[in-house]
Structure 1
Amino acid sequence: MAQNRTSIDPSELPEAITRYLTGRAAKDVSAAAPAFAPRATVTDDGHTYEGVEAITRWLSQTDSEYTYTTTLTGAERDTTDRYTVHQHLEGNFPGGEVGLHFRFVLADGLISELSIAP
């Protein structure tokens, strides 16, 4: 399937993605977790988390493990239900700074898949 990526203004991101990003920036797990579908999966740092309970634990762990700031550097609509968000992170994690791609797949208005990678 050919990809037809289109750069978009971050204000054009779907509500679930905005809710996740806002909750993460505020380190508010209770705001970020409801953006995920019940059977969602998250892949981050070589680990996959399946289901809202596992994703909520992952959110809590990453919030308590490191202190960091995020800067949104771009957003793209890949298809009608797939988006990529580019963020620059700086903090006390190994390496101190990194550019990450957050690849979202939506289903029924919620995040069904999220893959985070450099």
Structure 2
Amino acid sequence: MSESSSSTPVEHDGLPEVIRRYLTVHNRGDASASASLMTPDAHVTDDGKTYGGLPAIERWLDRAASEYTYATTCLGAAQDGPDRWTVTQRLDGDFPGGTIDLRYAFTLDGGLISRLVIAP
């Protein structure tokens, strides 16, 4: 199996600090603190839409924080490459369906998040 196709499971505490901080402030709905952990040219894909650059990402974060109320549970995490990590979280809330498991695929650059893809 090649290195690019393998993942190494990690505990939540084994995730890079920037990812742990992002998950904490994002789950609190703090858009400004979430965006501060991203590179200026970062891209986020969520619900099939991609947001590029910090102004667009901050608008997405503000909307996401106010749209629904939910609680999260970390189901697992893995390192997918030198600068790539995936975290799976369960969201329980007042959105349609009430419960969903989402994968947050992070790419880091210089200690910040340069790419985030959120998908079921």
Aligned to 2:103: 101
State the alpha-carbon separation in 1 of the partners of residues 24 and 65 from structure 2: 13
| Aligned amino acid, residue 76 of structure 1 | A
- Following TM superposition, the consecutive aligned residue runs of length 4 or more in structure 1 with deviations greater than 3 angstroms are none
2:29 match: secondary structure: coil
Among 82, 85, 95, the alignment partner of 1:83 is 85
1:49 corresponds to which residue?
A: 51
CA distance in 1: counterparts of 2:32 and 2:64, whole angstroms: 14
Letter paired with 1:67: T
Q: What are the ranges of 5 or more consecutive residues in structure 1 without an aligned counterpart? A: none
- Between Structure 1 and Structure 2, how many residues are aligned? 118
CA displacement, residues 73-99 of structure 1 (integer Å, 9 cap, x when unaligned): 111000110000000001111111100
Distance 1:105 1:61 in 2: 23
Greater shift in the superposed pair: 41-50 or 18-27 = 18-27
Give the distance between the partners of 1:48 and 1:36, measured in 2 at CA: 15
TM-score by length of 1: 0.95
Unmatched runs of 5 consecutive residues or more in structure 2: none
- Match 2:41 to one of 34, 39, 42: 39
Q: CA deviation at 1:30?
A: 2.3
Q: Percent identity at matched positions?
A: 51
Q: In the alignment, which of 11, 14, 32 is matched to residue 12 of structure 1?
A: 14
